[in-house]
Amino acid sequence: MAGATALIAAPPSRITGPVDMTRRATAPGRVHHLAQAQYDRGAADPAKKLNYMVLLVKPSAAQQSQLDQLLVDQQNPSSPSFRQWLTPEQFGARFGLNLSDRSKIVAWLTMEGFSVDHMARSNNWIAFSGTAAQVTKTLRTPVHQFEINGKMHFANTQVPAVPEALSDIVGGFLGLNDFPSTPNARLVTPDYNLGNSHYLSPSDFATIYDLTPLYGAGVDGTGQSIAIVGESDVFLSDIASFRSRYGLPVNQPKMVPYGADPGFNSAQLEGNLDLEWAGAIAPKATIYYVYGSNAFTAIVAAVEMNVAPVISASYSSCEIDADYPGYSALAQQGNAQGITLLAASGDAGAAGCDFQGSEPFATRGLSVNFPAVLPEVTGVGGTQFVEGGGTFWAPTNTSTFGSAMGYIPEAAWNESDTTGLLSTGGGASRLYPKPLWQAGPGVPNDNARHVPDVSLSAAFHDAYEVSYLGGNYAVSGTSCGTPSMAGIVALLNHYQVLNKFQKSP
């Protein structure tokens, strides 16, 4: 496929008229559901800097039709396109903007005073920075401050508008608010003598989910790579400590920042968990940590960098806050590049739009979480072990802190109580139709995308051990199964390489 780009004509121009600031059209998207009057503390400082906002580009109707067909053909063993993955540049040559249109968008942004930070290799998004005043003037949406749980945030208060000439191109904006996506890690301080609770070590996981025979056959992730996305810096000493404690080979992650450095913040635990457990399940895979101020933008960056065929995201948000056609196209780009995207289904059961802690829970209706809801993403849900009267744990640990003796029966995770929702995210999407592949026994006969697609242990009762801030802790939630599943996918990829997986004749 390396020479295929040269044979493909550049996409036709889609900006056919002048970029007239007086003629406006509403861009795709919604105001974030947390930008409510009860939290509003007035207009943000006009000089406030908004860094690394992203203008998403949606494909034309013809491009979308061709992309949909390509994704089918890449999975069809009888097609010449079977497993013929694209590079970002090849994707852009077929499904992105032409250089003339991209130049016109850049000229519009710079004319309005924004600085352009990055232009995607695939010509389907542009990162830019500017002030709250520039956003208010250019996108016709005031930027306000909002106080939630004692913390100040900013957000646009109206759906952005763009020049009418760009309305067929703009697929939404990222970075117009800093409401955090939800890291689904829940910290537990282990008490190794507490009742019937157990804490999972990597060797426990390998025993319960029958990975040990793969390791014995040399399937350990060698030559494979996983990209973990995050919103915080991490201490590499924690990662090294985890690997040493559980008998894993030395294999530090590769740090890949984008945009402004987010520093150390509350998402640090999530970063540790994801890096430690993806690397525990695929101990010899190369782990990349793609991190910045927003995990969803980090996914965009990871697809752009194309450093790994597996991307793991343990962050989620209400699906109605991320209804951008441009983002769906980016997920499809990842698939076209041969990337498996995995995302946590969330920890609030079927109430994915609830904001726990400052209002009653289970009040915002049934909803699932983004990005797990995207049909191009594998949503990872949670289970809990149901030991009943069986004996599944040895009375003592091994040298690598394992005590599980075999598979343990599982049920859907639900430890919700009067303090809040603690259960596997899942249900039917409000926005996305059922993909063609989501059919079979037990799948509801409706026209809605359902999540999760797969599930692994997530309960407090048997939390995953982590190294964090120099100590040993345990974590629960769908954040745990997601990087673990990413490690399993890396093992599957390694297995295919070892067995010389070939296209069927």
The DSSP symbol for 45 reads P
Is 155 strand, coil or helix? strand
Mean pLDDT of all residues in 116-138: 97
Q: Is the pLDDT of residue 2 over 60?
A: no
For the entire predicted model, the pTM comes to 0.94
Sheet holding 315-318, edge to edge: 182-183, 315-318, 369-370
Whole-angstrom Cα distance, residue 502 to residue 325? 34
pLDDT digits (tens, 9 = 90+) for 351-362: 888 766 555 677
The DSSP symbol for 250 reads P
Nearest by Cα to 245 from 289, 291, 199: 199
- Domain range summary for the chain, segments of one domain joined by +: 23-59+96-174, 182-498
Alpha helices of 423-464 — where are they, by DSSP H? none
| 53 close to 162: Cβ distance less than 8 angstroms | no
Whole-angstrom Cα distance, residue 43 to residue 41? 7
Helix (H) or strand (E) holding 286: strand 286-291
What is the pLDDT of the chain when averaged over all its residues? 92
pLDDT digits (tens, 9 = 90+) for 384-431: 999 888 899 998 899 999 999 999 999 999 998 877 888 999 999 999
- The per-residue pLDDT for 71 is 97
Mean pLDDT of all residues in 131-141: 97
Q: Assign 5 a pLDDT band (cuts: 50, 70, 90).
A: very low
Q: Is the pLDDT of residue 19 over 70?
A: yes
Which residues lie below 8 Å from residue 135, measured CB to CB, with a gap of 6+?
A: 50, 53, 141, 143, 156, 176
Whole-angstrom Cα distance, residue 505 to residue 503? 6
Mean pLDDT of all residues in 236-255: 97
- Taking the CB of residue 18, how many other CB atoms lie within 10 A of it? 11
Angle of CA points 213, 205, 278, to nearest 5°: 95
- The per-residue pLDDT for 502 is 46
Q: What is the CA radius of gyration of the chain?
A: 23
Nearest by Cα to 83 from 438, 449, 496: 496
- The per-residue pLDDT for 473 is 92
Superfamily of domain covering 182-498: Peptidase S8/S53 domain (3.40.50.200)
- Taking the CB of residue 359, how many other CB atoms lie within 10 A of it? 12
Amino acid at 226: I
Task: Name the one residue in this structure whose structure tokens are 């996506």.
Answer: 181
Lowest mean pLDDT among 136-150, 172-186, 390-404: 172-186
Mean pLDDT of all residues in 278-286: 98
Helix axes 268-281, 478-498, angle to 10 degrees: 30
Which residues lie below 8 Å from residue 194, measured CB to CB, with a gap of 6+?
A: none
Mean pLDDT of all residues in 41-66: 96
Amino acid at 41: R
Amino acid at 214: L
Angstrom distances, CA of residue 14 to CA of 58, 125, 170? 11, 15, 11
Nearest by Cα to 109 from 81, 137, 84: 137
Nearest by Cα to 368 from 312, 323, 414, 329: 323
